[in-house]
């Protein structure tokens, strides 16, 4: 009966150190740097394949394991079928007993609620910023004059590859400027 740890951070710039320290007593630790919404969580898949009947899967927090309440419930069902317990350190949950399973499901629902509320606040903030006239996204690379020049060069037959080099743009950006999508709109 092994204790298997799983640690995850969302981006390459974040550190796994705190989670790994909390999981230091595990027999084996699977770790990855992937967003929770990614379907490419290969180390989680490997971890779930690795655990066996009687093992305990240990994580520091529920949000490190699952991307939604539905995903959490699917993982819990998968672990239950394999007769693997789940232990969540920071929330003091252990699914080996009825109280732990109840707490697990309640906290999973609350975590999903918090995620949805955070997304709603973010969308409200974006809409408010747009209403105030705040320019969102990356600023345009080319000026209006450079846009016109780029289009004229292309009309004269200059290759896309050359335009990419001349203006230090990706191929997609060159095409967007040619189509007028990135063109700077004249003031009224």
Catalytic residues: 10
Cα 55 to Cα 73, 139, 176: the distances in Å are 18, 52, 53
What does the chain come to in residues?
A: 188
Give the whole-angstrom CA distance, residue 108 versus residue 117: 14
Q: Measured between alpha carbons, how far is 137 from 157 in angstroms, rounded to an integer?
A: 31
Residue 155, CA atoms < 13 Å, CB-side half-sphere: 8
Closest by Cα among 143, 188, 171, 4 to 82:
4
| CB burial of residue 141 (10 Å; 0-12, 13-18, 19+) | middle
Residue whose structure tokens are 């699952």:
66
Measured at the alpha carbon of residue 109, what is the angle toward residues 106 and 114, in degrees to the nearest 5?
125
Instruction: Look up residue 78 and give its two tokens.
Output: 């998968």
Residue identified by tokens 């710039």 is 13
């Amino acid at each position: 009966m092994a204790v298997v740890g799983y640690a995850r951070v969302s981006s390459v710039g974040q550190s796994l150190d705190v989670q790994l320290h909390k999981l230091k007593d595990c027999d084996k630790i699977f770790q990855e740097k992937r967003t929770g919404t990614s379907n490419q969580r290969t180390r989680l898949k490997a971890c779930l394949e690795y655990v066996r009947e009687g093992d305990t899967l240990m994580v520091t927090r529920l949000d490190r394991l699952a991307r939604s309440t539905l995903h959490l419930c699917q993982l819990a069902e998968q672990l239950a079928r394999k007769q693997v317990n789940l232990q969540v350190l920071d929330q003091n949950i252990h699914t080996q007993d009825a109280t732990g399973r109840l707490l697990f499901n309640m906290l999973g629902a609350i975590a999903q609620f918090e995620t949805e509320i955070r997304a709603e606040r973010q969308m409200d903030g974006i809409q408010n910023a747009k209403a105030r006239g705040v320019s969102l996204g990356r600023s345009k690379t080319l000026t209006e004059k450079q846009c016109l020049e780029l289009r004229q060069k292309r009309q004269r037959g200059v290759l896309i590859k050359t335009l990419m080099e001349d203006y230090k743009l990706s191929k997609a950006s060159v095409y967007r400027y040619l189509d007028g999508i990135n063109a700077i709109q004249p003031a009224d």
